[in-house]
Amino acid sequence: MYEIIGIMFVGGIIGYVFKSKSKFIRLSEKIYSLILFLLLFSLGLSVGKNDVAMSSISNLGLLSFAIAVSAVAGSVVCAWIVYRIFFKNIKHDK
């Protein structure tokens, strides 16, 4: 975790220092989205070489979907309550 937070922080400093170099920032955004695909490809690689993971992959789809639905349902209900109590009557809410 410390590596991830540390690297994010270093990136933040670089981004802050070079924020006026719009070409650099736009390039960073592009690299970011390209790396995402490389990342998924390499995640596929590590799953593909793992036989235990491979044999269970077909069973995991439904479970994963159910976890996602419960996570979304929980946050939507909580957001609904918070919205009704704290946000509904604010002026900027046109």
Partner 1 sequence: MKNSIIAILFFAAGIACAKLQLVPKIVLDSDFTLYVLYVQILFVGICMGAELNRSIALIKSLNVRILLVPFTTVIGTLLGVLLFSIFINSMPLSDLLATGSGFGYYSLSSIYIAEIRGETLGIIALLTNIAREIIGLAFTPLFAKHFGKLAPIAAAGATSMDTCLPVITANVGKNYAIISVFSGTVVTILVPFLITFILRVM
| Single-letter code of the amino acid located at 17 | V
Q: How far is the CB of 34 from partner 1 (least distance, A)?
A: 10
Q: Tell me the chain's radius of gyration from C-alpha atoms.
A: 21
Minimum Å gap between C-beta 3 and partner 1 is 7
**How many Cβ atoms sit within 10 Å of the Cβ of residue 58?**
8
Does position 87 interact with partner 1 (CB under 8 A)? The reply is: yes
**Rule CB under 8 A: which of 39-58 touch partner 1?**
39-50, 52-54, 56-57
38 touches partner 1 by CB under 8 A: yes
Contact 8, 21 (CB under 8 A): no
